[in-house]
Structure 1
């Protein structure tokens, strides 16, 4: 029997990624269903595998791990972006003991961090976290409890003189300042396009005003989307965008 499954440690399955791996191996859904059933010890119909790949049904973690075994890959190859510290650890293939040893913290400290999805380590421990677990920027910022601060800075940046905000933002989002400079400039230009359109004809101006307000409301989502485009231009499109 497979080990007891952790109900929250894996990101959700990325359907198109699972289908792409299966197609690359030349396997049918029936063959995959048979292998998944053998791993789990319970029957699995090919239609269920098809539903997973279509995104109409979300498999449980145990089925994602079974699917990975059937497709001769890591579960990390089949799932979307990690959104919690627990998911980052699992995607990295680390146990709790391996994680605490790498970060230099106690087991109880890490278990609390996973349970609350809140990171409060020292600067040295934070650098170890970034090296060891490689959390996606949105996950790291959320775990540090700084999402709202990020939104405030981004709104100020795109509506004023954005270059002065690159430094403050690098202290929140752990990325190369050159990357943030590039992305922040793009955000600024997009917002200015909508803002400039508010001076046109009444109907168009009203639409532009709504779009500009919506852009500011979801400014952090736009940041993450542009960062993914910049850092992973050839990334599998099945990875979900925020």
Structure 2
């Protein structure tokens, strides 16, 4: 199994999604196990497929590809959110050469971007990256080296008055400004709820203060969660099943 920090691996399997697709096809875990074994050329027990769907065992890349073949779908339909540029390319099913050509850069430049998970392209190249690889917002922001800047902006927005921060936020997160406007407003309300509760009885105030501090500490995670819910309201991990 590839190491957890392997940037060239597929994103982790989304167990609920894999199970849902199997059920939609009317297949048993035994039938899927047989198809995966035929694809891989080695035995696969139905209990292993059940463990993948339960999330107790993470399949290797080759098994994810075999599982996708067994379920008549793309590996991208079975995995969670990409966290690196290389994972975005893998999910998109593109080669290094194809990606470099689509972005208008050299193969060496793209290989370096993948190796460092760091993106520094021109505005036109960045737009091509967004169109070609569709990186999830957290992945894109991290690759651009703006995660720390985002956290500072969000903390200032929720602890003061949020509307002036919508513009700066849109320059970091490549999403519809109206969507970011709504997410920032929700974050502000959530933080102000806990901040306002710090003036109550001592035990309640201490709890509210701790919750407010934790909210600020993980403010970017709350943003991503709000955006995922807004973009995919019926999806549990990140994308709807086909």
| TM, length-normalised to structure 2 | 0.94
> Aligned residue for 1:3?
none
Q: Is the 8 A contact 2:88 2:134 kept in 1?
A: yes
Cα deviation code 1:214-241 (max 9, x no counterpart): 0000000000000011111122x1449x
Separation in structure 2 between the aligned mates of residue 161 and residue 134 of structure 1, nearest angstrom: 31
Residue 7 (structure 1) shift: 7.7
> Aligned residue for 2:132?
132
Cα deviation code 1:192-235 (max 9, x no counterpart): 00000001111100000000000000000000000011111122
Separation in structure 1 between the aligned mates of residue 112 and residue 8 of structure 2, nearest angstrom: 14
Alignment of 1:3-14 (within 5 A): 8-14=8-14
| Pairwise CA RMSD | 1.3
Residue 41 (structure 1) shift: 1.1
Separation in structure 2 between the aligned mates of residue 139 and residue 21 of structure 1, nearest angstrom: 26
Separation in structure 1 between the aligned mates of residue 142 and residue 58 of structure 2, nearest angstrom: 24
> Aligned residue for 2:116?
116
Cα deviation code 1:6-56 (max 9, x no counterpart): 983311100011011111111111111111111111111111111101100
Cα deviation code 1:100-135 (max 9, x no counterpart): 111000001111111111111111111100011110
Separation in structure 1 between the aligned mates of residue 144 and residue 7 of structure 2, nearest angstrom: 23
Separation in structure 2 between the aligned mates of residue 228 and residue 136 of structure 1, nearest angstrom: 10
Alignment of 1:123-202 (within 5 A): 123-202=123-202
How many residue pairs get aligned? The number is 234
Q: Is the 8 A contact 1:83 1:139 kept in 2?
A: yes
Mind listing any 5+ residue stretches in structure 1 that lack a counterpart?
1-5
> Aligned residue for 1:101?
101
Once superposed, which parts of structure 1, at least 4 consecutive aligned residues long, lie more than 2 Å away?
A: 6-9
Separation in structure 1 between the aligned mates of residue 22 and residue 161 of structure 2, nearest angstrom: 49
Q: Is the 8 A contact 2:11 2:82 kept in 1?
A: yes
> Aligned residue for 1:227?
227
